[in-house]
């Protein structure tokens, strides 16, 4: 499992991130690791010295995340999954979140075991039962996910406080709300709370798409998914012009993303693609 993060702790995190994304794709095309194993690898990477949570709250959250990840693999017909919002995307977001959290560690930004476990559960759940396509009303698909999770939490209970926080974070993954999420923490020193957690989820959600290595292919997959849903923007999203617009819209503001130098990497891609837009 941990071959996803096989580089040494002294290595730069961005190459490690690309290595994880590459490993996921090799597995996706061959013998799929499964979301539970990806989640376990992310957990072990973040807590390499002691992979066990000490608090009962964190243990419950992680147990729920593992139960959901296993549930999400049951009865899946691969060729019927959305072309973008599929299990590979969930795995991408898991690994993106793990790298962002490790980057926070390297920046000296503390967070509790409970927040780590809650974020791992949220990233697992954020596109649960996603049908493909995009919202036609505010938070339409996110509300669908939250409603489905309410039933799952009945059989896999976590405390009401954390359930409400997780639902809130999922609702805040609506792309229309991302800018406001970043604005809410602008100028604030990092201290893990619900606002910062929403930003981390937004960043993890699109991290693979933000890379120059995997982003263009993911754009093409999103275009294919949107075409099946008869969304007009399908003809644009997978093009160079569409990617340029996407990159210009991105926000990365957490100390973890700044540690990874993601804004600079985005600027480099924008400068390169702008040559073709003239």
Residue 219 lies in a domain: no
Residue 109 lies in a domain: yes
How much is the pTM? 0.96
Is there a contact between 5 and 21 (Cβ–Cβ < 8 Å)?
no
**Residues 34-51 pLDDT 10s:** 999 999 999 999 986 555
CA distance 13 to 103: 7
Residue 168 lies in a domain: yes
- What SS3 state is found at 267? helix
Q: What is the CATH number of the domain that holds 24?
A: 1.10.1300.10
Mark residue 133 as left, alpha or beta (left: phi above 0; alpha: psi -120 to 50; beta: remaining): left
112: containing domain: 2-208
Residue 79 lies in a domain: yes
Residue 233 lies in a domain: no
Residue 181 lies in a domain: yes
Residue 33 lies in a domain: yes
**Residues 198-249 pLDDT 10s:** 999 999 999 999 999 999 999 999 999 999 999 999 999 999 999 999 999 9
Tell me how many degrees the CA angle 128-253-165 measures, rounded to the nearest 5: 40
**Count of the separate structural domains present in the chain:** 1
CA distance 126 to 149: 10
Residue 161 lies in a domain: yes
Tell me how many degrees the CA angle 132-137-138 measures, rounded to the nearest 5: 100
Residue with tokens 């419950």, as numbered in its chain? 60
């Amino acid at each position: 499992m941990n071959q996803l993060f096989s580089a040494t702790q002294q290595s730069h995190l961005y190459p490690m991130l690309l290595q994880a994304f590459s490993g996921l794709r090799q597995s996706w095309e061959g013998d799929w690791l499964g979301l539970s194993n990806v989640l376990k690898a992310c957990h072990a990477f973040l807590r390499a010295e002691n992979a066990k949570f000490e608090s009962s709250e964190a243990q419950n959250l992680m147990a729920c995340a593992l139960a959901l990840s296993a549930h999400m693999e049951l009865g899946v017909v691969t060729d019927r999954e959305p072309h973008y919002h599929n299990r590979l995307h969930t795995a991408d977001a898991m690994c993106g979140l793990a790298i962002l959290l490790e980057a926070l560690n390297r920046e000296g930004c503390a967070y509790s075991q409970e927040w780590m476990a809650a974020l791992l559960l949220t990233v697992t759940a954020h596109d649960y039962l996603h049908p493909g396509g995009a919202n036609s009303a505010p938070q339409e698909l996110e509300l669908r996910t939250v409603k489905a999770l309410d039933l799952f939490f009945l059989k896999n209970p976590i405390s009401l406080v954390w359930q409400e926080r997780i639902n809130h974070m999922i609702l805040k993954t609506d792309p229309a709300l991302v800018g406001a999420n970043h604005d809410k923490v602008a100028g604030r020193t990092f201290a893990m709370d619900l606002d910062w957690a929403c930003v981390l989820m937004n960043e993890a959600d699109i991290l693979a798409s933000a890379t120059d290595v995997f982003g263009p292919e993911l754009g093409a997959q999103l275009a294919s998914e949107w075409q099946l849903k008869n969304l007009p923007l399908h003809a644009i999203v997978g093009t160079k012009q569409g990617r340029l617009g996407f990159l210009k819209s991105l926000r990365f503001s957490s100390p973890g993303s700044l540690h990874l130098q993601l804004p600079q990497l985005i600027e480099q891609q924008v400068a390169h693609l702008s040559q073709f837009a003239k």
